[in-house]
Amino acid sequence: MSVSFKQYTKYNKKLWKFQCYLGKTEFGEEVRTTRSGFQTKKDAQQVYRQLQLDFDRNLIKMNGNITFKELYEEFIEQYRLKVKPSTIMITRRAIEDHALEYFGDKKINDISVRFCTQVNRRWIRDGYKQAYYFRRAVAQIFQYGIQQELITENPMRKTEPIKRQEIDEHLVATETMTAYTPKELALFLDSCKKHGNKKIETYFRVLSYTGARKSEILALEWNDINFETNKLIISKTLAEVESDPTTKITKVASQSAKTNAGKRTISIDSETMTMLQEWKTRQQLELTILGFKSTSKHQLVFPNRENMFCRPGQANDWYDVIATKYNLKRITLHEFRKTHVSLCAMADMNLEDIMYRVGHKDSKMTRQVYNYFYPEREERSADQFAKFIEKEKYLF
């Protein structure tokens, strides 16, 4: 018998205990245990049944009969130890909002390549632009199952890859790309000035004249700006991260740039620096009135009303107010980066300098915008080469 129950006396009180054999672990070790101090035999029997149930469930998991949801919960715990907090939230949303409804209750041994293919097709059919990422996230979890020797193959990795929608740099002329012209950008910035909010005016001036990402600017501290050398250090960005691992509640936090290319020191024109200095003086006054210490080494350049991080979407709200109030052409805040790249090209800056300025790891995206808004550049380069040869042909 795997369990025996006995009644015993302690301090003149009759109690119950049991000894049991639960089984063998995956390493062949026998598991035996003794529990005591129960008021009734029924109480002892209930605890024994739960112990046996928990042991059997764990043994089943070790044999590969674990659900996808259970595997995901194990995966996300170890994943937290090696990736940035913002990556955790992106992965959680992909799996918990889009994958668990299909995979959650299925045993991982029962999930086939065909089933994964059908789910991929459904994500595409439903119009999710992030479908390629959903597929990748699910594949990561199956790969974790392989590492734990719960399964031998990854069914999701055997499916046809979902291509991320992007502009082909060789077909860029057939695509539509939106940005502000120099005149439209000047009109927008003039409207920001008319609006009368110095913080918003300065924010969009920096956004337009640096090509930085909206959250990189929101993460700026005053010690990132050198007013003597007119340099700006970009090394951080804002992101939504977990506030509580047991919920989907998030908070805003600053984290280091994703790539080395994202960490850069760029030059700022004198007018923008003057505007930043004026905003710094104005901000110190406002913070003092509100009771905040304004001389902190890590004082944010563009904080919220509580002198904390703005949420990443705050800049979109500012833009919406200006564009609506002055009936302006609308672009996305990401297209301010494309605007910057296009205007740098018009200003005859070379591709490598532009790439560094906007923090691009490779040239593909930069080149797409560069060539789209300045297609005649290549033709002009050919003319310049021909003129150079004509001029220098008698030199050697």
Domain ranges in the chain are 3-62, 68-158, 182-379
Q: Are 256 and 83 in contact (CB under 8 A)?
A: no
pLDDT for residue 263 = 83
**Mean pLDDT score of the chain:** 83
127-141, 161-175, 200-214: which has the minimum mean pLDDT?
A: 161-175
Whole-angstrom distance, CA of residue 352 vs CA of residue 220: 24
Pick the more confident residue, 327 or 243: 327
In 3D space, the residue among 194, 123, 201 whose CA is nearest the CA of residue 156 turns out to be 123
Predicted model pTM: 0.65
26-30, 107-111, 208-212, 225-229: which has the minimum mean pLDDT?
A: 26-30
pLDDT for residue 166 = 42
Q: What are the CB-based long-range contacts (under 8 Å, 24+) for 277-281?
A: 277/227, 278/198, 278/202, 279/198, 279/199, 279/202, 280/222
pLDDT for residue 179 = 82
Q: pLDDT tens digits, residue range 325-352?
A: 999 999 999 888 888 887 887 777 777 7
Whole-angstrom distance, CA of residue 203 vs CA of residue 315: 8
Q: What's the CATH number for 68-158?
A: 1.10.150.130
Fold of 182-379: hpI Integrase; Chain A (1.10.443)
49-58, 69-78, 387-396: which has the minimum mean pLDDT?
A: 387-396
Element housing 372 (H / E): helix 364-373
